A and B are shown apart, each in its own frame.
Chain A
Amino acid sequence: MSDYVSPVGQGIPRLETRDKITGKAVYADDMSRPDMLFGVIVPSPHAHARIAGYDVSAALALDGVVAVVTGEDIGDHKIGPFIKDETALAVGKVRYMGEPVAAVAAVDLETAKQAARLIDIAYEELPAVFDTDAAMAEDAPVLHENSGDYIKVFEADSDGNAMAIIEIVEGDVASAWENCAAIVEGSYETQAQCHSYMEPCSALAEIDSNGKITIWSSNQSVFHVQAFTADALGIPMSKVRCVTPQVGGAFGGKMEQTVQPAAAALARATGRPVKVTLTREQDFEMIRARHPGKVWMKTGAAADGTLLAREVRIVLDAGAYADDSPGVAGIAALFCRGPYRIENVSIESRPIYTNKLRSGAFRGFGGPQVAIAGETQIDEIADRLGLDPIDVRLKNAVRPGEEWMIGVALNKAGLSECLNRVRAASGWDEKRKAAPNGSGRRRGIGVACIPHISGVLTSGAIVRILEDGTAVLNTGAVDNGQGSDTVLVQICAAALGLDVDRVSVATPDTDGSPYNWGTTASRVTYMAGRAVVAASEDAVNQLKQRAAIMMECAEEDLELRDGGRIGIKGVPEAEVGFRDISGFSHWVAGGPVIGTNSLAYDGPDFDPKRGFLRGFPFGKIGAWIFAAQAVEVELDEATGRITPLKIWSAHDIGKAINPTAVEGQIQGGIVQGLGYALCEEMVWDSGRLANPSFMDYKIPGIADVPPQIETILVEDPDEDGPFGAKGIGEPPIVGIAPAISNAVAHAAGIRLRRLPMTPERVLRTLKE
């Protein structure tokens, strides 16, 4: 018998770990090409201004400068994933301080930096708006005067600086309030958060004699890079090839364009390879951030805690360009009800243009901005009704077999299990009963629940069996450092009955990889994983077909056996190994085995009869995932500091393909959530970002993280997921801020409604 152990469920180390630890791993900025130039981007010094003219003569006259490109050179080719409203270099107007206006390529970085300072651009300043209230005022300056002409990939109303208005209505909120025994209402404010990936944005572009541009860059989807670069330069996608070396983190910040179009424009202008790598300050000022949010919410419940109605108005500060804002605003509108059955909802969500850095995708994607409102209101309701916060959540938690969220059928839902596990592990009932300790340092515990998805859009996979019977997997999915290459190889190896070291993983390359929408939306394990299983099964079927010829039997009589063999059912000794089959197929008959699969998310859809949904910019979404998180805190009443003491995080993940990697994702998300909850905040002084460095913008370090984060994996396999798996990337960040706010309420009876909950804000609230 085989001593084969399936790689699925094994917490094996990441495939690339050794290279990263020893410094062998290659990131975009580590790369060099013969004759390579260095590119530097010139940022706008104004928040809102008309470009009156360019004088690049002094820069071009500098020794070592090879080319300068401006918006005039690359043309008015608009890009944007939802609304095509920006150009790779500003054309006509600038709309935020830091916006790329021109780019220069020179023989070395120092010369390029010096040349960038010599580029003289004349501006006529325009009135600017720096927050959503000012942008929504009747006489506010409009950032995009011709927004009506923009191409939109979805249907939504817009209004002045409101780029989209998203509405969800179910039931009848107005008449539901009168049946409520408790109604809570409040306004909540959240901040801009920096993605703080370790690797600043970088791209190296090179052009061949046929005008085809190859781009190595840090990104979340080579296919996005290909599409927006082709769009930005006005060239066919067949003239752009995108490749990915190692990526040093992304978290949503590298989902759309960064510096790739500028690098490509410089390569085209010079005919030479050009590398553009941002400094940390430029990366802060130029790329994107999490949307600041203003949320008004009202929730009502019956005396037994049954949630009856919720009304929500969401305003997101989108910054100067739409980027992923319509998507984020849509997901915020969808998730603001929390993972609960609420029959009456009325929700409106508006992303608003302002003269600041664009906001975009960021782990949680609209969830964190509404969770602080929704999950603290559940606690306030519990408090009013004299009920336990976990009991109220369990009463309303969506359950398997139900329809929820505009009539979507829910096959699996592990939320109640997550809540029960967190309750038991944290000693919740004891800790909630404990009388608040005296003044000075107070302790409290709070909980929050999270809904998310892991199924959306499209993916593919190719599994080739090599001549010796080993395999190579190609999905086009970019590993951002979270471990998807390892997980996808584990899935492929398990589906083929091979060990992990018998499966190679191909680097994402638009010339050779099947399409993958992106490493985003917690979707790679679920979506690419499904494609990998199906492509592996396709390969196995082809192996059986070849084996049937070799063994002179019917294909239906054959079975896949562990360790890379095909055998005749019921006849243990009758079998051939993959090596023999592949040799046969390559050199005798059948042809090389190439298993493929292509899929679009195909789960249950919204039911238009169940509610009104307008302006939502995604098609089918699903493969719902749920989580419950609890945080115990200590509050220092003298300084206002909140110290998280211990965190419990339970996740409905279907199946952990690699439990170690899953726990890593949970812990990483929690640390990023602690930063969002307690200390991270991008601050603007009018149009100028005041803290564009890690000296002034602080993320938590190891000493700021509680010594214990207990991860709890709730495994109830999903019918469609690969080996039952669903996603994990985003939920861990979302519940931390509301759980902490709830814990502080438990400790000291105060309600914190603004993030981050800095010691100063806490102390002021305590003194109120």
Chain B
Amino acid sequence: MEFHGPSTVEEAVSLLASDEEARCLAGGATLVAMMNADLVMPSALVSLRHIEELRGIFTDSGGGLRVGAMTTHREVAEADGLAGAHALLSDTARAIGHPAIRNMGTVGGSIGHGDPQADYPGALAALDAAVEVRGPDGTRPVAAEDFFVDYLETALLPGELIAAVTLPPPPAGAFGAYEKFARVEGDYATVSVAAVVAMEDGRCSYARVALGSCGPTPVRAEAAEDRLTGSALDDADIAEAAAILREECDPVDDVRGSGEYRMMLVEPLLGRALRAAAAKGGAR
């Protein structure tokens, strides 16, 4: 197996494009574990560790956010001053694995694996994020919802890598909350809910909700968000929104819980996420 440590994205892309069996090595939190278990045997590893432009968290003048693909979960978790709903990204990063994993794992590595049980996908979907993809033909933005294609499958084409995730400016007055239910601390979610909510005079004026571990990709339902918008987020509103979301779910049975149980969790976790997000806005 060959090992490459390029210092530019262009070099990395050309290495990846020249060898279909090559894999990007980001933090290694998932890939190295899979290699140790003989699940993947890449012909070459292209480490992205030395590519400076893939690191860091930047806010642009318009209020949009750019998080480099090689930014670690810990860096995201500890990012100060993320505006309004953008702080949901930090909340989500804090829920990933354990300190050792958060020190190694990266945003790009996590979403590039395309695991619907991971924490970031739902948060990115709820934040209307885009994934900045770089390849032999240059840069293309892919909306988070289009990026996650199927279980362990993303929109990345051969030779492409993830350069960053970008968030539009936070919706006015909105705040986010991440509600994760797992068997033990640090496990993948049995079900997770990422919610972004704005409240005005006790009524919900903006709602974005995405579920994790409820299907092959993050689950969103505009009809559910429409049902919540304008409501007071009372029990009936949440129950009806949950029912709409459940229609979109296609969860698996596995050691983390049966599909049926995951469906039982949607309503209570949705309620907790929405109310936690609403509470962050205080008495608006």
Residues of A within 8 A of B (CB): 113, 279, 281, 638-639, 641, 679, 681, 683, 690-691, 693, 695-704, 758-760, 763-764
Contacts and interface: CB of A to CB of B under 8 A. Distances in A.
26 contacts: A113-B38, A279-B36, A279-B37, A638-B268, A639-B181, A639-B269, A641-B181, A679-B183, A679-B184, A683-B255, A695-B188, A696-B254, A697-B255, A698-B183, A698-B184, A698-B187, A699-B184, A701-B186, A702-B185, A703-B185, A703-B186, A758-B257, A759-B190, A759-B257, A760-B257, A763-B264
Contacts, number: 50
Contacts of B186: 701, 703
Interface in B89-116: 98
Contacts of A691: 255
B185 A760 contact: no
Contacts of A693: 37
B261 interface: yes
B37 A758 contact: no
Given A760-B258, A763-B261, A639 B185 contact: no
A546 to B, nearest CB: 57
B77 interface: no
Which of B38, B257, B268 has most A Cβ within 10 Å?
Answer: B268
B83 interface: no
B265 interface: yes
Contact of A690 (B36, B37, B187, B255): B255
A641 B190 CA distance: 12
A679 B261 CA distance: 15
Interface of A: prevailing SS:
loop
A758 B268 contact: no
B98 A701 contact: yes
Given A281-B37, A763-B261, A763-B264, A700 B255 contact: no
Contacts of B269: 639
A707 to B, nearest CB: 13
Interface string B15-31: 00000000000000000
A696 B268 contact: no
Which of B181, B186, B254, B264 has most A Cβ within 10 Å?
Answer: B264
A693 B38 CA distance: 13
A697 B256 CA distance: 9
Nearest to A697: B255
B37 A701 contact: no
A672 to B, nearest CB: 13
Contacts of B36: 279
Contacts of A113: 38
Contacts of A639: 181, 265, 268-269
Which of B255, B258, B265 has most A Cβ within 10 Å?
Answer: B255
Interface string B246-262: 00000000110110010
Contacts of A696: 254-255
Contacts of A758: 183, 257
A286 to B, nearest CB: 15
Given A638-B268, A639-B268, A704 B184 contact: yes
A681 B256 CA distance: 11
A702 B99 CA distance: 12
A279 B39 CA distance: 14
B261 A760 contact: yes
A638 B38 CA distance: 40
Contact of B185 (A690, A704, A764): A704
A698 B189 CA distance: 13
A639 B257 CA distance: 12
A690 B256 CA distance: 12
A279 B181 CA distance: 30
A701 B255 contact: no
A701 B185 contact: yes
Nearest to B261: A760
A696 B33 CA distance: 13
In the A-B complex, the 4 residue pairs with the closest CB atoms? A638-B268, A703-B185, A760-B261, A698-B184
B181 A700 contact: no
Contacts of A281: 37
Contacts of B188: 695
Contacts of B37: 279, 281, 693
Contacts of B38: 113
B178 to A, nearest CB: 16
Given A641-B181, A699-B184, 17 more contacts: A113-B38, A281-B37, A639-B268, A639-B269, A679-B183, A691-B255, A695-B188, A697-B255, A698-B183, A700-B184, A701-B184, A703-B186, A704-B184, A704-B185, A758-B183, A759-B181, A763-B261
A693 B257 CA distance: 17
Interface string B221-264: 00000000000000000000000000000000011011001001
A760 B263 CA distance: 11
Interface in B174-219: 181, 183-188, 190
Interface in B37-81: 37-38
Contacts of B261: 759-760, 763-764
Contacts of A697: 255
Contacts of A700: 184
A98 to B, nearest CB: 15
Contacts of B268: 638-639
Nearest to A681: B255
Contacts of A641: 181
Contacts of A703: 184-186
A639 B271 CA distance: 12
B226 to A, nearest CB: 25
A639 B182 CA distance: 11
Which of B33, B36, B261 has most A Cβ within 10 Å?
Answer: B261
A122 to B, nearest CB: 24
Nearest to B260: A760
A376 B188 CA distance: 32
Nearest to A679: B183
A134 B265 CA distance: 34
